A and B are shown apart, each in its own frame.
Chain A
Amino acid sequence: MIADAFTAERIGAAWLRAALAPYSDFGRRIDDAANAAGLPDAVRARERCATILRLAAALDADGAARVRAALRTVPDPLPIVSRARAGDPLGDVDFYELGRFADALDAVARAWTQAGGAPDDLPASPPIAALLAPGRSGGTGFYLDDAFDPVLADARETMAEADARVEREHARLAVEVADELGFMPAGEEFVIVREQHAGPLPHGVRVVRETPAYRLCALERDIPALLAETERDGERRMLAAEEERVRRELADGIARERDAIVAATVRLGELDCALARVALVHRFGGCIPTFDDGIFALEDATFAPLAEALATEGRTYTPLSIEVRPTAVLTGPNMGGKSAALALCGFIALCVAAGVPPPARSVTLPLLRRVVWIGGGDADRVRLLSAFATEVVRARDALADDARPALILVDEYARTTGPREGRALLVALVEALARRPHTVALIATHFEHVAEVAGVQHLWVTGAARAALDGIVAGDLHDALAALAGAMDYRIIPAGPEAASGSDAIALARILGLPAPLIARASDAYES
């Protein structure tokens, strides 16, 4: 879905992006691939939503959260598998990581089952665990154990015997010089303090390194000792070669399972992305959208970012229903939710494009490719444009691109100029939008009779009864807003002759705490 930064900010795109952010690298890869592939067609979009709703119905919310948490801990095996596939040697840390991957897959599977998920939705476990099993007898670690190949056991035993022979030879040599040194030298190298042994070293002792205070010495090896060391070094090389051979065979086995491992990671990624959407459905509900070119209709739809923000304030969001065929002007009182209704429409379009079942009882909309928001913004300081100039330029650009099916949301266009010319500009814009092909447009305004003049649908926010507004006592802002929310009827209905006129601006200003003399003067001025 194409939405510039200004539009995205208005319709909650960042909120949705954060809510859908995958927990795992696998999920991020799936996300990236989906973004690169572009928007789905109607059939695919409906299938995606149906899948999410099926999962949401099957999984309990806490369980789904636990599956996501388990996904977060799955290490990415693909760099290791790719190296194995290319014939690069793998190390024991690589095998340890692959073991962790196998364990993490098991953990995801357990969490999935506990959450009520169907086994068919899980990735098939590649046989990594079986390949690595001989090295994981100690639990979660990895050791290139003798159990991988009996030759390893033989090589290690032979090396231990060779080590022991060297030790015996060194012990023999040490005994031969001990009397002359006055102590029994230990280890391959030992220190002689010059102060304690200033004279010549005994035959059989050589200096490795010396300092003014010490001489670091080693025993001079004779033929039997050198033979024992040579043999030990050979056994070490043999063991190293055997260990590398076993690692190579293990790596070959991993490489052979490459396709199964890749498939498992792809499924994990899909699961990660799906569970992000399931979490939204668990919080806000969702439906399968219906696609129809000439209508944008929402029934009991929720603008989730606003619902979440209100909830943190202890307030409740009222789901909205609206039907736009395909161009409508929305009027009504201040603080009645006109801008929120526009944002809701954009948000729902985003959800559908992102494969999120839109949070509503039902949704019917065209297959949209673009959302544009015009108006309601500040001056564009980067381009040195005033608020008026900014929205005019946005309107110009939106009208210039008529190739893609678009949802165009217009909020208080031309409110910053003189009301007579402003209204005239808005009428012209509405007429142009109504003529524009493949376009749904919703235009919120306080200008009167725009819909009638432009010949488009007129919708109205029901608002609060005047008596209800007059009954609210001005005071603490938080309390006033809560009382106002309780009094306000946010329903959007077709505007008929019985629809109230005016914006309730003066009554609302009183509730919001404007001083009483100002309110009284404003009322007088309005009446006169």
Chain B
Amino acid sequence: MNGALLDAALACGSSVIVVGTAKNVGKTVTFNALRDAAEARDLRYALTSIGRDGEPADALDGREKPRIRVPRGSVVALPEELVPRSPALEILELGERSALGRIVFARARLATTCEIGGPPSARAVRATIDRLRAFCDGPVFVDGAIDRIAPLAGGDDAIVVATGGASGATVERVADVAADVVARLRTAAYDPARDGAAPLRLPAALDALTAEALLAEPPQTVVVGDPTRIAVRGRLFARLAQHVALRCERALRVVACTTSPDGPGGGLDPVALVRAVAHATGLPAFDVLAGVRA
């Protein structure tokens, strides 16, 4: 099952970024599932994070979080202060600065577990992914964050969207939230032949005020730089998408969703959730723990 998720991701790019629709929707579980699948195939891989991950408990809500295992031979990018002292890592290079020190590129000579974290800026995240590709022949896995999607822009990564009970109390609500996120991230690339030769190009982010102005006098086609520049959500986004052909200069590759039925209000039906998310997003969906896909 996890192998199918890995196949879907690697068919579209050598780096895979996992983003979540909310906190505690199984993003790191998805990240670990991809790594497990790579290990099962004896693939050497590289790891980094857009936020700070792998700590025993969530820094915000104190919930226990999965640790990040770093198997022998894999490469990791992590801040200097998070480099484990034992077993020693092979230090390959230093990168950008982060709040926890410079980003260290290191290879595990022996298996270990650690926290990982990434650089602060989108540009630095992109540079880090590029360096990891240089250090590792295998895939690069990036534990992302829903509130920091800017690093998705400008890359050719495969994007996996993790969603779950933490983003909605019902199967339908979770599926709607996932569909909204996926619809934004999958904004199609501008094609003059299809979309007309004179679109309205937005140099800045598409925010709520801009969206309202566009809806007042809708142009035929609006082009943003990339989907991360779309800052409108929910019904406003849906209305905009209904009235305007929303396009981007550089499209992203959203390849799959994962689901986690657990939420603060209790558990959702795993099978129903996978099916609803797959239906709402038009993407293959996986529950990597339950071994269910749709």
| Chain A residues proximal to chain B, CB less than 8 Å | 91-93, 95-97, 138, 140-144, 156, 159-160, 163, 191, 193-196, 209, 211-214, 236, 239-240, 243-244
CA distance A209 to B289 in the complex (A): 14
| B261 close to A213 (CB less than 8 A) | yes
Residues in B whose Cβ lies below 8 Å from that of A96 = 91, 94
| B86 close to A212 (CB less than 8 A) | no
B67-103 near A? 1/0 per residue, CB < 8 Å = 0000000000000100101111111111000000110
Residues in A whose Cβ lies below 8 Å from that of B289 = 191, 193, 213-214
Residues in A whose Cβ lies below 8 Å from that of B268 = 213
CA distance A93 to B101 in the complex (A): 11
| A92 close to B89 (CB less than 8 A) | yes
Residues in A whose Cβ lies below 8 Å from that of B104 = 93
Closest to B91 in A: A96
Residues A211 and B267 in contact in the complex (CB < 8 Å), given A138-B90, A191-B289: yes
CA distance A243 to B261 in the complex (A): 44
Partner of B290, one of A142, A159, A160, A196: A196
- Whether B139 is near chain A, meaning CB under 8 Å from some CB there, is no
B145 vs chain A, min Cβ distance (A): 22
Which interface residue of A144, A156, A209, A243 has the most chain B CB atoms within 10 A?
Answer: A144
Partner of A212, one of B80, B85, B87, B266: B266
Residues A92 and B91 in contact in the complex (CB < 8 Å), given A213-B261, A213-B262, A239-B86: yes
Residues A240 and B86 in contact in the complex (CB < 8 Å), given A212-B267, A213-B262, A213-B267: yes
Interface on chain A toward B: helix, strand, loop, or mixed SS?
Answer: mixed
CA distance A274 to B260 in the complex (A): 64
Which interface residue of A95, A194, A214, A244 has the most chain B CB atoms within 10 A?
Answer: A214
Closest to A183 in B: B291
B197 vs chain A, min Cβ distance (A): 42
| A93 close to B94 (CB less than 8 A) | yes
Partner of A141, one of B83, B93, B290: B93
| B270 close to A239 (CB less than 8 A) | no
- Whether B200 is near chain A, meaning CB under 8 Å from some CB there, is no
- Whether B109 is near chain A, meaning CB under 8 Å from some CB there, is yes
Q: Number of contacts between A and B (CB, 8 Å)?
A: 81
Residues A209 and B266 in contact in the complex (CB < 8 Å), given A143-B109, A193-B290: no
Closest to B29 in A: A191
- Whether B57 is near chain A, meaning CB under 8 Å from some CB there, is no
CA distance A142 to B109 in the complex (A): 12
B90 vs chain A, min Cβ distance (A): 4
Residues A195 and B270 in contact in the complex (CB < 8 Å), given A96-B91, A144-B88: yes
| A91 close to B87 (CB less than 8 A) | no
- Whether B64 is near chain A, meaning CB under 8 Å from some CB there, is yes
CA distance A493 to B175 in the complex (A): 90
A235 vs chain B, min Cβ distance (A): 11
| A92 close to B267 (CB less than 8 A) | no
CA distance A375 to B271 in the complex (A): 87
- Whether B238 is near chain A, meaning CB under 8 Å from some CB there, is no
CA distance A243 to B88 in the complex (A): 8
CA distance A283 to B87 in the complex (A): 54
| B270 close to A193 (CB less than 8 A) | yes
A145 vs chain B, min Cβ distance (A): 9
Across chains A and B, which 3 residue pairs bring their CB atoms closest together, nearest first? Answer: A212-B267, A240-B86, A143-B90
Which interface residue of B88, B104, B262 has the most chain A CB atoms within 10 A?
Answer: B88
- Whether B110 is near chain A, meaning CB under 8 Å from some CB there, is yes
Closest to A186 in B: B36
Residues in B whose Cβ lies below 8 Å from that of A244 = 85-86
